[in-house]
């Protein structure tokens, strides 16, 4: 454990230049995290909830909504069937794809604002 701290100190604070770069990077990371958390906590999620259908299928009339789902199913099937042609995916790649599909499903099929916030944090 001491070697880890020694390595970290030498890497991030070993010289004046490394110290300046480390502190600037910490300030930038803190700014981005603060901005993202501020956006998530102060956003008006009711707008997302109301316009979720518009985001998913656009201005398709409700009586023709059934036409959208086969297109989505075929597109999903073609994407998943073509994974092997992209190369030999690792378990990490497959997990990433599955997580992406799950996030889309959670956003468009749930009505809980807390799940949207949690999903935003995962992204």
Q: What is the pLDDT of residues 37-95, one digit of tens each?
A: 888 888 787 887 778 778 777 888 878 877 877 877 788 788 778 877 877 888 888 88
**Among candidate residues 69, 63, 49, 66, the one with its CA nearest the CA of residue 114:** 49
Higher pLDDT, 116 or 87: 87
pLDDT of residue 16: 93
Residue 58, Ramachandran bin (φ over 0: left; ψ between -120 and 50: alpha; else beta): left
pLDDT(118) > 70 = no
**Mean pLDDT of all residues in the chain?**
80
pLDDT of residue 26: 95
Higher pLDDT, 33 or 89: 33
């Amino acid at each position: 454990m001491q070697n880890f701290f020694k390595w970290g100190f030498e890497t991030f604070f070993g010289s004046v230049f490394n110290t300046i770069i480390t502190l600037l990077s910490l300030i930038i990371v803190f700014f981005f995290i603060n901005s993202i958390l501020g956006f998530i906590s102060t956003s008006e999620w009711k707008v997302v909830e109301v316009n979720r259908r518009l985001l998913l299928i656009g201005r398709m009339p409700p009586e023709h909504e059934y036409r959208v789902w086969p297109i989505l199913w075929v597109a999903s099937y073609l994407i998943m069937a073509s994974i092997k042609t992209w190369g030999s995916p690792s378990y990490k790649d497959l997990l990433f794809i599955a997580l992406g599909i799950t996030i889309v499903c959670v956003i468009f099929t749930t009505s809980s604002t807390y799940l949207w916030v949690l999903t935003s944090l995962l992204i």
